Structure 1
Amino acid sequence: MRVFAISDLHLDYAANREWLQQLPVQEYNDDVLLLAGDVSDRLTLLEDAFSALTKRFSAVLFVPGNHDLWINRERLPDSFAKLEALLAATREHGVHTDIYRKDELAIVPLLGWYDYSFGAADDYLKAAWADYRNCQWPGHDEASLTRFFTQQNPSLSSLALQNARRIITFSHFLPRIDLMPERIPDKHRKIYPVLGTTVLESQLRGLGSSLHVYGHSHVNRQVTIDGVTYINNAFGYPSEAHFTARRLMQVR
């Protein structure tokens, strides 16, 4: 069994949908796919992706990204309702959102959001970042929303992790800001506060993860820090084709 990873498919773009549909139907039938969020802000396209990928892989594991929880193009009252609809779609299509076991390997999806542990959001970011307009989380600010998601993540005491000799984790959001390379220009660092949360780093370390897959930044990278290998394999927007691989990546 091989394990592949990809994030940020953004199927709102026709070119990205075409890539998905041309994936071989039989090549990955014994393999697992980690789908690390931002498939589409439209439920119909999310379901199309789940349908296409579950026909190609033995198991598809998924965590939602911020775009997946937008409601600006859905008739839903808030993003909590979008989350429920999204989870219902995963159940309908047989997509895994909980711990996946295969012999001594355990793969753990980690929910998250951003809580400004990577820096404070200034007025520019609050005006420019689309989540502030396209998500609605009544009764929650970013810190409490991050707690809402991360408190649902399993700990090492979970029965589903017993006797696991290798643990792989994956999230949409970044678990640490130093995953962003030094080459990033200052003007692009303005989005750092909304890239993730240090809570995820504490959780993956507590689980004993040796490999963590993440998405969201659209900056593809593989780096090992203090014994954990971090991998971002974002598909990205068509305009980013000159620096994203736009292919599946085998991580095991």
Structure 2
Amino acid sequence: MKLYALSDLHLRYEQNRQALESLEPHPEDWLVVAGDVGETEEELDFAWRTLTARFRQVIWVPGNHELWTLSREPGALRGEARYQRLVALCRAHGVITPEDPYPRWPGEGPHRVLVPLFLLYDYSFRPDDVSEEGALNWALEANILCTDEAVLHPDPYPSRAAWCAARVDQALVRLASLPPDCKTILINHFPLRYEHVRLPRIPRFSLWCGTKKTEDWHTRFRAEVVITGHLHMPATLWRDGVRFEEVSLGYPRQWQWRGDISWYLREILPGPSR
């Protein structure tokens, strides 16, 4: 029995939909889907119908694209209401969400708990000499502005940063209640550490990539592995003896040169040894 992870499926692209359908069945294994599945409910429904037929259990955390409110989706909700609608859609397919009890890993090994998180970002992933008030202007100086600013609405919160703060506080309460003898597999769409935002071509996009409030969570909450996406730069990194897995697929031009989606399906457990 294995735990796999994949993110940033971006199913608005037909090539990505076909790639997802090409995945071979893993009837005894679990799959983490770490956000940016798509931008509409139809795309998420397609993903869950496809993946729950191939894996024993699927776990989802939202990315920013799922939370977009787009004019092409009739009756689309905003903010928290949209997120809760997506949670209900996941549950209808038996997919575990950040709102569900954290599941214990049933495979071999020590006591492990899988922790799906929905934390967002708060513009704190920026250099020390850039103020919070000046952060957006700093990004604009390099002609960088995330689409979230137009279509990811934080309702009923006054800002995305406020929504992020509320989500972090909620997660902290739940994490603090975990048994002290268990290890965790932390799952979030956005990186938990600023140093892991490796974007050489668009470094100022870091503003929309996480929060410094999670910098120590990998040690504070006994993580064995941290799973994230968002960057479209799959990699295995290590920090303080903890394995960090960036598990993105990405847009067709970013992955098709390898020719096969199976290369991007990252084994988390048992996983590689250092």
Tell me whether the two structures share a fold, i.e. TM-score over 0.5: yes
Partner of 2:60: 62
Q: CA deviation at 1:52?
A: 1.2
Partner of 2:238: 224
Structure 2 contact 153–160 (Cα < 8 Å) conserved? no
Letter paired with 2:219 = R
Consecutive unaligned residues of structure 1, counting only runs of 5 or more, are none
Counterpart of 2:103 (choices 90, 100, 103) is: 100
Q: Check if 1:233 corresponds to 2:247.
A: yes
Distance 1:236 1:245 in 2: 13
Partner of 2:186: 169
RMSD: 2.2
Counterpart of 1:201 (choices 208, 215, 222) is: 215
The Cα offsets for residues 1-21 of structure 1, whole Å up to 9 and x where unpaired, read as 201011100000000000111
Counterpart of 1:113 (choices 106, 114, 120) is: 120
Letter paired with 1:107 = L
Q: Check if 1:150 corresponds to 2:168.
A: yes
Distance 2:125 2:259 in 1: 24
Structure 1 contact 155–206 (Cα < 8 Å) conserved? no
Structure 2 contact 144–204 (Cα < 8 Å) conserved? no
Letter paired with 2:83 = L
Structure 2 contact 224–243 (Cα < 8 Å) conserved? yes
Structure 2 contact 68–152 (Cα < 8 Å) conserved? yes
Q: Secondary structure at the match of 2:17?
A: helix
Structure 1 contact 5–248 (Cα < 8 Å) conserved? yes
Distance 2:84 2:259 in 1: 31
Q: CA deviation at 1:79?
A: 2.3
Alignment of 1:1-252 (within 5 A): 1-25=1-25, 28-72=26-70, 73-74=72-73, 75-97=75-97, 98=100, 99-103=102-106, 104-119=111-126, 120-122=135-137, 124=140, 128-138=145-155, 139-153=157-171, 155-158=174-177, 161-162=178-179, 165-181=182-198, 184-185=199-200, 187-241=201-255, 242=257, 246=261, 247-252=264-269
Consecutive unaligned residues of structure 2, counting only runs of 5 or more, are 127-134, 270-274
The Cα offsets for residues 40-96 of structure 1, whole Å up to 9 and x where unpaired, read as 011011011112111111111110000000111332241222111101101101001
Identity %: 31
Distance 2:136 2:194 in 1: 14
C-alpha change, 1:195 and 1:245, in structure 2 (3 Å) is: farther
Q: CA deviation at 1:239?
A: 1.4
Q: Secondary structure at the match of 1:121?
A: helix
More displaced 10-residue stretch of structure 1: 12-21 or 104-113: 104-113
Q: Secondary structure at the match of 1:100?
A: coil
Structure 1 contact 211–228 (Cα < 8 Å) conserved? yes
Structure 2 contact 35–229 (Cα < 8 Å) conserved? yes
C-alpha change, 1:17 and 1:67, in structure 2 (3 Å) is: same
What is the TM-score normalised by the length of structure 2? 0.82
Q: CA deviation at 1:164?
A: 5.2
Q: Secondary structure at the match of 1:223?
A: strand
Distance 2:183 2:16 in 1: 33
The Cα offsets for residues 180-202 of structure 1, whole Å up to 9 and x where unpaired, read as 34xx43x5112011111122333
Partner of 2:272: none
